[in-house]
Amino acid sequence: MALVTLIEAVTMALAHEMEKDTDVVVMGEDVGKNGGVFRATEGLQKKFGEERVIDTPLAEAMIAGLSVGMASQGMRPVPEIQFMGFVFPAVNQIMTAVARMRNRTRGRLTMPMTIRMPYGGGIHAPEHHSESTEALFAHIPGLKVVIPSNPSRAYGLLLAAMRDPDPVLFLEPKRIYRAVKHEVEDNGEAYPLETCFVDQEGDDVTLISWGAMMYETLQAAEKLAAEGINAEVIDVATVAPMDMTTIFESVRKTGRVVIVQEAPKAGAVGSEIAAEIAEHELLSLIAPIERVSGWDTVMPYAKLEGQYMPTVERILDGVKKVMAFK
């Protein structure tokens, strides 16, 4: 059992699977000698060699295309896109080949690949480094989109992603790469994909979030408990395909819902959750669904990020709105 950060849990999972399965190959910009811009792959090239931990040119389309070729021939590539904001040159490959290959070949070829991307704000990075665009990929059939919220989930979910027969986008919230440490045993036990985690049980209001925003959401739940409000807190974890069963069960129990996301509000994952609840559990609701989100603007630079990203206070305000309905 080791006390590790989220980024260390990612490294641990990669090393475990590379040791276990020689078909697993890591590639990306600076992932080898430098160990990646955030050091997620530190030490892996020294341990597994340059043929399995490959430094690539600054060419995301090439990284994705090379991964398609590898995956189609039975390998399990784990390409890293250095920042999620750099993924767009690779989107053609991801949408037209990665997501569609199983359907296109009627199952004769699959894409067992895990595309890792640091994403989200909170580190005062410049433009193209801080967006939360998970909804773009959650909308594409054939892709799983997974977002860990803490070190133990990063380890277990990344193992599951690398073992999946189909493509997984694994989005790592860089704001919490080194925020906390969890005890994680390097035992190779994967967490289930497509399953929400109930981090806290309650019967007054359901708080739904994922990724880095789980920290503010849990802090808000703690403050609510001091006021006598018992919040149920759900970590979605896999935003596509989504485990709505767990969410529906919670809505039937509480009747009030606050969805917390870092991404802009319009056309977002939170909008899909709200629509699903309205479609299937409308009569369970006591109050309108409240969404607490980033703004419908480009993520601002540096210190202005704090004006953009949801805070504990904004979450508490959202809860007050839904609790006003009796």
Residues 215-262 have pLDDT tens digits of 999 999 999 999 999 999 999 999 999 999 999 999 999 999 999 999
Per-residue model confidence (pLDDT) at position 128: 75
The set of residues, in sequence order, having a beta carbon less than 8 Å from that of 174 and lying 6+ positions away, is 38, 118, 119, 120, 122, 123
The answer to whether residue 125 scores a pLDDT higher than 90 is no
Of the chain, the percentage scoring pLDDT greater than 90 comes to 94
The CATH homologous superfamily to which domain 2-184 belongs is Thiamin diphosphate (ThDP)-binding fold, Pyr/PP domains (3.40.50.970)
What is the reported pTM? 0.97
The answer to whether residue 302 scores a pLDDT higher than 80 is no
Distances (CA, A) of 173 to 26, 120, 170, 226: 19, 6, 10, 29
Of the chain, the percentage scoring pLDDT greater than 70 comes to 100
Residues that are catalytic: 129
**Is residue 304 very low, low, confident or very high in pLDDT (cuts 50, 70, 90)?**
confident
Give the DSSP H or E segment for 264.
strand 257-264
The secondary structure of residue 240, as a DSSP letter, is: E
Side chain identity at 130, as an amino acid letter? S
Average pLDDT over residues 28-57: 97
The answer to whether residue 306 scores a pLDDT higher than 90 is no
Per-residue model confidence (pLDDT) at position 101: 96
**Could you read off the pLDDT of 66-96 as tens digits, one per residue?**
999 999 999 999 999 999 999 999 999 999 9
What is the chain's mean pLDDT, rounded? 96
Per-residue model confidence (pLDDT) at position 164: 98
Contact criterion met (CB below 8 Å) for 78 and 18: no
Per-residue model confidence (pLDDT) at position 17: 98
Give span(s): CATH 3.40.50.970, the chain. Answer: 2-184
The larger pLDDT score, comparing residue 326 to residue 275, is at 275
Per-residue model confidence (pLDDT) at position 300: 87
The answer to whether residue 166 scores a pLDDT higher than 90 is yes
Per-residue model confidence (pLDDT) at position 175: 96
Distances (CA, A) of 309 to 158, 191, 313: 26, 28, 11
Please state which of the four CATH numbers 3.30.460.10, 3.40.50.920, 3.30.2010.30, 3.50.50.60 is assigned to the domain occupying 197-323.
Answer: 3.40.50.920
Give span(s): CATH 3.40.50.920, the chain. Answer: 197-323
Q: Token pair 């559990």 is at which residue?
A: 281
Per-residue model confidence (pLDDT) at position 301: 81
Average pLDDT over residues 186-198: 97
**Is residue 326 very low, low, confident or very high in pLDDT (cuts 50, 70, 90)?**
confident
